[in-house]
Amino acid sequence: MILPLGLTLNFFTDTGFWIGVGVLAGIYALVALGLQLNVGYTGMTNFGAAGFMAVGAYAMAILVLKAGFSFWLSLPVAMLIAIGFGLLVGLPSLRLRADYFAIATIALAETVRIIAQNADSLTGGNQGLFCAEGGAGACYNDAWTNLSTTIEGWLQSLGWTNPESLAPLLIVVWLFVVGATLGLRFIQKSPWGRVLRAIREDEDAAEALGKHTFAYKLQSLAIAAAIGAFAGFFLALDLATVHPLDYEPVARQLLGGARRRGGLLDHPRGDAVHRLRPRRHPDRSTAVLHRRPGADRADGLPAAGDVRQAGGDGPR
């Protein structure tokens, strides 16, 4: 981790780098919000957040590339699919005790990744999803690229002469983070949120008072899945590819206090290294050739701290 940084320290002063970090921080802040709802508010140790992201991102890309959906229509549909997946995870495993539930969620998220890696015809296998038929046809993010260009135009008219290519995504991601934070705060403060907290404190007590705890836990999962799906969409737009190894359900997602906003942050590869990769390949069909070499991933524990500092979205 130190080595490549030592070679190219100048990226620290590069706005593009920090904007990239900010995008990732936002994406993982979204994941953290979903987890906070599950773990912090409902007391469900859900390690399957990466699975929600993966299902969302893959569903979106597959709908666009293989089923001919428009990008904008694919988003809500993919979100519903992720919610469906969340419920599917919950129905059998929520009956398990907390620790077994945690294991089951890791297993299911891993299952998603393994399926993604192996169902080549649908998911592109280890190459991931990018554009239709080797780059010749449309790419799943074309609609976004257009919008992004429009936003860049607005930024220019606001006086930013040469906006970074990721600046529009940064703005959209953080608008979502703010929206999700406010929305979640609103529902968590409601009587509905009170039931969730009661379940976290003592599920039996909540049942004894007539609360259908199972239904609430499913709702909590469904909302986290919807938020996770959006985190997945954003990651797919950020990386301009949907790749199985971006969705490893690593247990290290739990850093810091579960109830603290921004207390759960991580990055699948985590460090600054992959940021140094060219972001948009002029010729997308060659992207596959210089997809992250193994060294990229041999980073061990990532510097989630980098992401957090950059995001500045919560106390440690």
How far apart are CB 90 and other proteins at their closest, in Å? 16
Site for other proteins in 245-284 (CB under 8 A): none
How far apart are CB 32 and other proteins at their closest, in Å? 20
- Burial label, 142 (beta-carbon count in 10 A; 0-12, 13-18, 19+): middle
Q: Which is nearer to other proteins, 178 or 209 (CB)?
A: 209
Per CB under 8 A, does 100 bind other proteins?
no
Q: Which is nearer to other proteins, 120 or 202 (CB)?
A: 202
Residue for token digits 């008072």? 209
CA distances from 129 to 33, 56, 82, 123, 211 (A): 27, 13, 18, 6, 43
How many residues touch other proteins under the rule CB under 8 A: the total is: 23
Amino acid making up residue 164: E
Site for other proteins in 163-222 (CB under 8 A): 186-187, 190-192, 194-195, 197-198, 200-202, 204-213, 219
Q: Which of 53, 71, 62 is nearest to 112 (CA)?
A: 53
How far apart are CB 182 and other proteins at their closest, in Å? 13
Residue for token digits 């398990």? 96
Q: How far apart are CA 62 and CA 194, in angstroms?
A: 38
- Burial label, 215 (beta-carbon count in 10 A; 0-12, 13-18, 19+): exposed
Q: Which is nearer to other proteins, 204 or 283 (CB)?
A: 204
Q: Which is nearer to other proteins, 70 or 190 (CB)?
A: 190
Q: Which of 281, 288, 282 is nearest to 133 (CA)?
A: 288
How far apart are CB 187 and other proteins at their closest, in Å? 6
Q: Which is nearer to other proteins, 120 or 201 (CB)?
A: 201
How far apart are CB 190 and other proteins at their closest, in Å? 4
> What is the CB-side half-sphere exposure of residue 28 using CA atoms within 13 A?
31
Residues that bind other proteins (CB under 8 A): 186-187, 190-192, 194-195, 197-198, 200-202, 204-213, 219
